[in-house]
């Protein structure tokens, strides 16, 4: 396999935003790779991030996400004969067995059960084709536009592919689901069944890497070794993806080491942060405070903080009546002249309109 050497001039050419410190280099063996901040989705490192490749069992990240969005963990699922004995990894489901969706999800993500994936797909989608349609629809909603699913488990199909970038996007979306995070960060799970009820996680990241909390391994002879890892330190969660990489774990660790070493998550502004008072026309108060609707934090190198610029778009006056939390403006954040965030500015309180008589009296005064 051709080695990928990411060094300072390569990074500058490929990303134009990210660079290594002097004399530092990173050598990995992946055909495609990416390092992404989970919350902001900023790309910290990349190599061939949009190359379409098979992804093996990392497919199951989307399988789990679709199931969590459309099913109930307590649902009891009866296993049909046609999913028994599917090739590859298995949790050894039995014909007629009744098992909860929760146990199937743990079997899917910890033991990489292909039979578990099929059971989930048939139950959530009512049939396999509908579930695959749901997977592809969600991929498009997330923005994973270079991804196509043909099955819920990742066994090879020439039309079943993704990219490192898309897979990182899908994973960052899945990590917004607390149950998904709980499942993928579990080292072991005991299922409510008589046999084969202990599921140990195949993902060594949970044991070997500080802050490791996911996500999924994958391997077929056609895809090579594929891995999505995640780690959280000091409220910063990084996602590393490598596709077709013989040194899958070590290379993901190198990517995340780079991210934690060189970047820090800064709070640019917080939810409810005050910006200014705006004059109110015909209101019971002369002005209304406006604040940020949501918080915004972003991973930056130390020397990038001074390159952040913020632009507020606000009216000079607002007419009463005014409802609390009404959108009155926008905030745009730039890094090196490039937009990295756009958010809403809202009113902090209600202000009623002054009656005609009171307005006349005020004018006379």
Q: Which of 40, 60, 116, 181 is catalytic?
A: 60
**What one-character-per-residue DSSP string does 194-206 give?**
SSS-EEE---THH
Query: Residue 98 pairs with which residues in a beta bridge?
Result: 78
* Options 32, 57, 172, 185, the catalytic residue: 57
DSSP 8-state code for residue 21: P
Catalytic residue at 60?
A: yes
Cβ neighbours of residue 306 closer than 8 Å, sequence gap 6 or more: none
Asked if 59 and 218 touch (Cβ cutoff 8 Å), the reply is: yes
Strands (E) across the chain are located at 4-6, 26-28, 32-37, 43-47, 76-78, 98-100, 188-190, 198-200, 212-220, 224-233, 236-243, 264-269, 274-281, 287-292, 296-300, 308-313, 317-319, 327-335, 338-347
Assess whether 57 carries a catalytic annotation. Answer: yes
Q: Which of 32, 40, 112, 185 is catalytic?
A: 112
d(CA 1, CA 7): 19
State whether residue 89 is helix, strand or coil: coil
Tell me which residues are annotated as active site: 57, 60, 112
């Amino acid at each position: 396999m051709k080695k990928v050497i990411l060094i300072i001039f390569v990074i500058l050419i490929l990303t134009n935003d990210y660079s290594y410190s002097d004399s530092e280099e990173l050598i990995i063996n992946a055909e495609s790779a990416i390092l992404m901040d989970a919350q902001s989705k900023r790309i910290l490192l990349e190599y061939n991030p949009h190359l379409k490749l098979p992804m093996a069992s990392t497919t199951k990240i989307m399988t789990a996400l679709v199931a969590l969005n459309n099913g109930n963990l307590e649902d009891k699922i009866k296993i049909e004969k046609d999913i028994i004995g599917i090739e590859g990894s298995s949790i050894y489901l039995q014909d007629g067995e009744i098992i909860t969706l929760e146990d199937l999800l743990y079997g899917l993500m910890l033991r990489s059960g292909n039979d578990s994936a099929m059971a989930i797909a048939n139950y959530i989608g009512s049939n396999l084709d509908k579930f695959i349609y749901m997977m592809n629809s969600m991929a498009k909603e997330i923005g994973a536009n270079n991804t196509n699913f043909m099955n819920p488990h990742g066994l090879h199909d020439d039309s079943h592919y993704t990219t490192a970038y898309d897979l990182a996007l899908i994973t960052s979306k899945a990590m917004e689901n607390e149950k998904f995070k709980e499942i993928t960060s579990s080292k072991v799970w005991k299922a409510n069944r008589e046999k084969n009820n202990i599921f140990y996680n195949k993902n060594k990241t949970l044991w070997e890497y500080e802050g490791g909390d996911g996500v999924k391994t994958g391997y077929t002879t056609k895809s090579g070794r594929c891995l999505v890892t995640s780690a959280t330190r000091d409220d910063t969660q990084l996602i590393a993806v490598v596709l077709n990489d013989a040194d899958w774990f070590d290379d993901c660790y190198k990517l995340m080491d780079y991210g934690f070493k060189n970047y820090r998550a800064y709070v640019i502004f917080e939810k409810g942060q005050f910006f200014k008072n705006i004059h109110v026309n015909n209101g019971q108060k002369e002005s209304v405070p406006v604040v940020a609707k949501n918080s915004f934090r972003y991973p930056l190198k130390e020397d990038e903080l001074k390159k952040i610029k913020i632009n507020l778009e606000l009216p000079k006056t607002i007419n009463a009546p005014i409802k609390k939390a009404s959108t009155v403006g926008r905030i745009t954040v730039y890094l090196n002249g490039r937009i990295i965030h756009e958010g809403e500015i809202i009113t902090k309180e209600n202000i009623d309109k002054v009656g005609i008589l009171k307005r006349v009296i005020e004018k006379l005064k």
